């Protein structure tokens, strides 16, 4: 897990990131696949992304 803070002037957006790795895949093309997902780290950051999605 990785924490990230973005300073956007008047607003600080806090996120955390998780990386999923496929370790024992049956197909060689997915053997080294990594998926990184970002999630809001607090309520203010969640509201920021909800407002951004509906504009």
**Domain ranges for the chain:** 2-53
- Paired tokens of 5: 């803070």
Cα gap 13→33, rounded to integer Å = 28
Give the pLDDT score at 14: 96
**Hey, how many other C-beta atoms are within 10 angstroms of the C-beta on 45?**
20
- Alpha carbon 14 to its chain centroid, in Å, reads 10
At 55 the pLDDT is 72
Predicted TM-score (pTM) of the model is 0.70
What pLDDT score does 27 carry?
66
Two structure tokens written together for 23: 């370790």
Per-10-residue mean pLDDT, the chain, length 55: 88 92 69 86 94 85
2-7 and 34-40 beta bridge pairing = unpaired
Q: What is residue 33's predicted lDDT score, i.e. its pLDDT?
A: 80
């Amino acid at each position: 897990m990785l924490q990230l803070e973005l300073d956007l002037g008047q607003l600080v957006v806090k996120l955390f990131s998780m990386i999923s790795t496929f370790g024992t895949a049956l197909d060689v093309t997915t053997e080294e696949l990594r998926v990184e997902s970002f999630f809001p780290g607090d309520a203010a950051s969640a509201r920021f992304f909800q407002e951004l999605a509906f504009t």
